[in-house]
């Protein structure tokens, strides 16, 4: 199941085309796996912490911009074991190389259309 944010990014990354082969399905899965890593480890998100209405005006306050990974690492509700596992995954990633890999997979997917 795609998360809402990742799903939207996934759809934006792909041109509207008809994909019917198992090779295309495998490529979609590979692209999604890389996009998930990119979004969760490297794309900061603003999180709404408070919304107050004063008449017709709505005042919104946001938390500091952080990636989902940074929020998990700061959370007291996540076990140390899980944090260590995530940190190990994070240290293995290179954001520039990940982006190049996503772009290459998108090009390969584009060649699979009729």
CA distance 41 to 3: 15
| Residue indicated by tokens 């500091």 | 64
pLDDT digits (tens, 9 = 90+) for 78-89: 999 999 999 999
- Which residue bears the tokens 């979609």? 28
- Is the whole model's pTM more than 0.85, yes or no? no
Residue 1 pLDDT more than 60? no
Question: What's the pLDDT tens digit per position in 49-75?
Answer: 999 999 999 999 999 999 999 999 999
Burial track 21-51 (b if 16+ CB lie within 10 A, e otherwise): eeebeebbeebbebbebbbbbbeeeeeeeee
């Amino acid at each position: 199941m795609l998360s809402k944010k990742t799903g939207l990014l996934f759809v934006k990354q792909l041109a509207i085309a008809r994909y019917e082969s198992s090779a295309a399905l495998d490529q979609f899965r590979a692209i999604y796996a890389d996009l998930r890593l990119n979004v969760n480890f490297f794309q900061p998100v603003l999180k709404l912490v408070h919304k107050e209405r004063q008449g017709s005006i709505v005042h919104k306050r946001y938390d500091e911009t952080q990636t989902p990974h940074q929020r998990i690492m700061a959370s007291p509700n996540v076990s140390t074991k899980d944090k260590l596992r995530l940190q190990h995954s994070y240290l293995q990633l290179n954001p520039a190389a990940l982006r190049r890999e996503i772009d290459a997979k998108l090009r390969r997917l584009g060649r699979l259309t009729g």
